[in-house]
Amino acid sequence: MKRSLLCLTLLLAATAHAKLPAPPPPTEEAKAKAAEAAARTAWAAKADGYKLCASMDKAAANYFKTAAAAGKSVPPATANAPACTDPGPFAYTAPKPIEASGAHSPPETAKAPPSSNAPAAATMPAKK
């Protein structure tokens, strides 16, 4: 009984370690969706940081107000933290593909070849 249970366990473990096929490469649409999701996540992190900063400012203002009303001596607030900046609404602009961005060549046609017909000896005189 123990031996058959051990064999069954080993058989299941061997099939569990079988190699899965590689996933297909992502399409351009999937890459664009992933880029937008990454941008949305980054914006959400900025928005959450802004909300946290605003709530901390509100809590500090409430503390200073109630402490002053209670007659406690409170040291003045130091302003060494940057001001809270609102990230604004989410706006995503998809990047242009490399072919459409004009990164490969200038838009005008060539008027002369990129190199000259002069021999190298004429452009670089020999050292004496």
| Structure confidence by residue, pLDDT tens digits, 58-110 | 998 899 899 989 988 888 777 777 889 999 999 998 877 666 555 556 666 76
pLDDT of residue 37: 96
The dihedral built from the CA positions of residue 71, 72, 76 and 80, taken in this order, carries a sign that is: negative
Mean pLDDT lowest for which of 7-11, 38-42, 84-88?
A: 7-11
pTM (2 decimals)? Answer: 0.55
Residue 119 in any domain: the answer is no
Q: Six-digit token pair at 24? A: 């297909």
* Tally of residues, the chain: 128
pLDDT of residue 54: 94
Domain-embedded: residue 34: yes
pLDDT reported for residue 34: 94
| Average pLDDT of the chain, as a whole number | 81
Domains contained in the chain, number: 1
Classify residue 123: in a domain, yes or no: no
For residue 60, the enclosing domain spans 27-68
Element (H, E) at 83: none
- Does 61 reside within a domain? yes
Residue 52, in any domain of the structure: yes
Please indicate, yes or no, if residue 32 is contained in any of the structural domains. yes
Long-range (24+ apart) CB contacts under 8 A made by 54-57 are 54/84, 57/84
Tell me if 118 is assigned to some domain.
no
Three-class secondary structure assignment of 90-117 = CCCCCCCCHHHHCCCCCCCCCCCCCCCC
